[in-house]
Amino acid sequence: MSLFDRDFDRELAEERRAVAQVDKARHTDEALLAAVAEARAEALAQGRAEGRAEAEAEARAAEAEALSARLEQIAQRLDEMIAARDTHRAALERQLLGYAAVTAEKVLPEILDARAHARALAQIRRGLRLGLDAARLEIALPEGADDLRAEVARLVKAQGLAGRAVLRTDPALAPGDARVAWEGGRLDYSFAAICDEILGTLRAIARATPQTEDRI
């Protein structure tokens, strides 16, 4: 290529473009330092954020663990309190039953003497109602119950059962006992047996009560 064939304008333009690209690709020291500082700041910020999140997660886990341990302690304490309350209540109930047994031994005989007559008469009246349609009624009373016999006789007469009812004495019956029998049915009543059953139950419970548990 001859000197006259060269396109100096084009070559100058290409040279300017090359220089501009080099200048564009080259960074100053200040720019590099600024870029490094920015990158470092971003890394530090990211590290702090990650560290903060990790610390918060650890704190929450520690708090949850402490709360769980505290709740477990509270639950254990409640169990102990409930067990102590139940033990105290059971001992108190045994004491009261023991006291009731001692009291019943003194009171029930008096109740039997005072109420046996009225209770036996009430049950005889009930037996007469149950056997009202029977052709024959048999009323058994204990020995020595003369007052009761007189009242039963009046009751039988008042209800129009004198022709069908028979009164007799049964030595096996205790004071407060009575029996009314009819064909196909029978009513047995013993106020003494009821009192003995109550007293026996209370005595059994009192005997089963450990003496050491009586001191609350």
Q: How confident is residue 58, by pLDDT bands cut at 50, 70 and 90?
A: confident
CATH of domain 107-214: 3.30.2320
Higher pLDDT, 171 or 35: 171
pLDDT at residue 191, as a whole number: 86
Strands 165-169 and 137-141, by their bridges, are parallel
Per-residue pLDDT averaged across 16-40, rounded? 64
Angle at 196 between CA 113 and CA 212, to 5 degrees: 120
Per-residue pLDDT averaged across 46-64, rounded? 73
Q: Which of 7-11, 84-88, 193-197 has the lowest mean pLDDT?
A: 7-11
CA distances from 33 to 24, 30, 37, 39 (A): 17, 5, 6, 10
**Distant-in-sequence, close-in-space partners of 197: CB < 8 Å, separation ≥ 6:** none
- Judged against a pLDDT cut of 50, whether residue 181 lies above it is answered with yes
Per-residue pLDDT averaged across 143-153, rounded? 92
Higher pLDDT, 130 or 24: 130
pLDDT at residue 137, as a whole number: 94
Domain residue limits, the chain: 107-214
Q: For residue 80, what are its two tokens?
A: 């102990």
- Judged against a pLDDT cut of 50, whether residue 213 lies above it is answered with no
pLDDT at residue 31, as a whole number: 67
Per-residue pLDDT averaged across 50-60, rounded? 73
- Judged against a pLDDT cut of 90, whether residue 167 lies above it is answered with yes
- Judged against a pLDDT cut of 80, whether residue 75 lies above it is answered with no
